[in-house]
Structures are given as structure tokens and as C-alpha cells.
Amino acid sequence: MALIALVALAAAPVLDGVAEQGGVLRGTLPAGAAQLTLDGRPVAVAGDGRFIIGFGRDAPAAATLGWSSVGTPQALSIAIAPRQWRIQSLPTLPPSPVPDAEFEARRPAELARIAAARAVIGSGDGWRHGFAAPVSGPVTGVYGSQRILAGIPSAPHAGLDFGVAAGTPVRAPADGTVGLADGPFTLEGNLVMIDHGMGLVTAYLHLSRIDVRPGDQVRAGQTIGLVGATGRATGPHLHWGASWTDVRIDPELLLAKALPDGR
Ligand SMILES: [Zn+2]
């Protein structure tokens, strides 16, 4: 009995981090384990057994990590902590922009390019490390916040906004490979997306200038462009987005060091 229990324990992946909505967990798959899945979907694992998984804003209370140990299927339930989102209810709809024919024509191709950049499972190592904020400045919009306009919920805010001046350098938060660097996109404006490996991708929107090209290797701290107000933006700011595979995660939870008080 004791031996069986020991074998079972030794075969479980070791997880580090906090499982919460919008967050990521890193872990190590034990030797002899393979075919890692999260809720049945395959998860990439590095040569040394390390991996990363992410949870969306509306992730349910539990997820199941599956793997195979010497051919035997194994599973582990992960409890995902819920978070409180900033919800703002407005009684009336704001005047909505008239759908524009040019937007309707351009948008499907833009979305396809963004989805393709997000779908990359790169082999870089940036995902292993704590990230640094791409700019320092006040946070003017948080991940997960949502407005309910005349009873109709709008799409939750999928990133972190920094209210910083136009022309402020935007720095890569971790090592990576530039997947997309182009614009202006109709909503995102001039957009850079960086693949940090293993499905972890970050995005930088509304830039006034792009300083990198697709395929460039960037190092943590390297300037990738300048803050601007291109695309749909009411003023200069940086919208920083992050995703793991097709799951939008909270970039703030990637930071090695919490943002300063007052942010
Ligand atoms: Zn934003």
C-alpha cells in the first residue's frame, strides 16, 4: 500500500503559482509522464518537463490536468480561485458608431492575422520567467472590467491600460520572438505581438511607432515601439494584452513584481 501511494505521488505534476481566473500556472511534468492535457486539450511541454497553462476571465471553479504515466491515464483537479471584476452599469446606451463599410470589409482579415499570431506555440524561453511592466505609469483600465449599457453587457476589457504620454518607449516584458508588427489595424492601431514560447503571447496596441519586425528576437527591456493613439483610442495609452493559446489572460498576473501602489 505504502509503495503504491508513493508511486502515485511521485507521478503527479508539480505546479507553482496561484490558480485563479485570468492567471497562469507553471509546472513540471515528472519523468516518464507524457501527453499533458488541460480539460482534454493538448498542452505543450518543454524538453525539461516544464509547462505553462492559463485560465480565462470566466474560467469555471475547477480544471482537469490529464497526462499519461507509463501508458496509464492520470488526472488532477485544479481549483481555480474566482475574482471580482469591476462592473459598471450605465442606464443608457452611448451613441453607437455607425457600422462603417470599410471596417466591415477589413475586420475579418485583421482578426485572422491576430488569431494566427496568438496560435503560435513557440520554442522560446521567455514564458519561464517573471515579466517586467512594458511601461511605468498609472493603470487606467484593468483586465476583466466590463460595462453594462442599458442592460446589455459589453465585451470585458481583455488587457491592462497604462495612461502614459505619446512617445513613451514600450519595452518587451520578457524575451520573445515578434510574431506580428504591423498596422494600423482598425481597432488595435499599430500592433506588436510577441511570442514568449509555449503559447504565451503578449500584445501592444495603439502604438505611434513600431521598432521591430516579424521574426525579430527581442530581449526583456528592449524597446519595441512608442506609445500612441492609433486605431480606436480616445487618447494616447498603452493597451497591454496577453494570451495563453486562445485564452485571454491578465497581463498583470505575469509580472514578477507587483505594480506600485496607486499604479
Ligand atoms: Zn485597453
CATH number, residue 65: 2.60.40
For ligand 1, the distance from its centroid to the CA atom of residue 242, given in whole angstroms, is 12
Task: Tell how far the Cα of 193 is from the centroid of ligand 1, in angstroms.
Answer: 15
Q: Which domain holds residue 206?
A: 87-254
Per-residue pLDDT reduced to its tens digit, 86-107: 999 988 877 666 778 989 999 9
Q: pLDDT confidence of 5, banded at 50, 70, 90?
A: very low
Say whether both 147 and 211 belong to one domain.
yes
CATH of the domain at 159: 2.70.70.10
Domain boundary pick from 79, 113, 137 = 79
Asked whether residue 263 is domain-assigned, the answer is: no
pLDDT at position 70: 84
Q: What is the mean pLDDT of residues 243-263?
A: 89
Ligand 1 midpoint to CA 59 (Å): 21
Query: Is residue 153 reached through a cis peptide bond, with omega within 30 degrees of 0 on the bond before it?
Result: no
Using a pLDDT cut of 90, give the percent of the chain over it: 84
Residue 201 lies in a domain: yes
157 closest CA partner among 85, 224, 220: 85
Q: Same domain, yes or no, for 107 and 52?
A: no
Q: How far is CA 7 from the centre of its chain?
A: 35
For ligand 1, the distance from its centroid to the CA atom of residue 219, given in whole angstroms, is 24
Shared-domain flag, residues 59 and 125: no
Asked if residue 259 belongs to a domain, the reply is no
| Any domain includes 91 | yes
Q: Evaluate if residue 4 carries a pLDDT over 60.
A: no
Question: 125 and 21 in one domain?
Answer: no
The domain boundary residue, chosen from 38, 57, 79: 79
What integer pLDDT is reported at residue 1 of this predicted model?
A: 44
Residue 2: per-residue pLDDT: 46
Computed over every residue of the chain, the mean pLDDT equals 93
Domain-ending residue, one of 54, 79, 104? 79
Counted domains in the chain: 2
Q: Is the residue at 261 inside a domain?
A: no
Q: Please give the distance, rounded to the nearest whole angstrom, from the Cα atom of residue 200 to the centre of ligand 1.
A: 19
Determine the 3-state secondary structure of 30 from DSSP.
coil
Domain match, 93 and 49 both: no
| Residues 67 and 164 both lie in one domain | no
Residues 118 and 225 placed together within one structural domain of the fold = yes
Compute, in angstroms, the gap from residue 115 CA to the centroid of ligand 1.
18
Residues 40, 111 within the same domain: no
- Assign 3-class secondary structure to 127-176: HHCCECCCCCCCEEECCCCEEEECCEECCCCCEEEECCCCCCEEECCCCE
211 domain-assigned: yes
Paired strand residues for 181: 192
pLDDT of residue 149: 87
The answer on 176 and 55 residing in a single domain is: no
Tell me the per-residue pLDDT of 134-155, one tens digit each, with 9 for 90 and over: 999 999 999 999 999 888 888 9
User: Per-residue pLDDT averaged across 3-30, rounded?
Assistant: 81
CA distances from 145 to 22, 154, 155, 164 (A): 12, 10, 9, 20
Distance CA 151, CA 154 (A): 9
Tell me how far the alpha carbon of residue 162 lies from the centroid of ligand 1, in angstroms: 8
Query: What does the pLDDT average to over 63-87?
Result: 95
pLDDT of residue 96: 67
Q: Quick one: 102 and 228 in the same domain?
A: yes
Whether residue 103 lies inside any domain: the answer is yes
263 band by pLDDT with thresholds 50, 70 and 90: low
Regarding whether 114 and 229 lie in a shared domain, the answer is yes
Q: Which three cell numbers stand for residue 27?
A: 509546472
Alpha carbon of 256 to ligand 1 centroid (Å): 21
The distance of Cα 132 from the centroid of its chain, to the nearest Å, equals 14
- Same-domain status, 154 and 38: no
Burial of 96 (0-12, 13-18, 19+ CB in 10 A): exposed
In a domain, 58, yes or no: yes
Q: Provide mean pLDDT across the span 70-85.
A: 94
Owner of C-alpha cell 517586467: 132
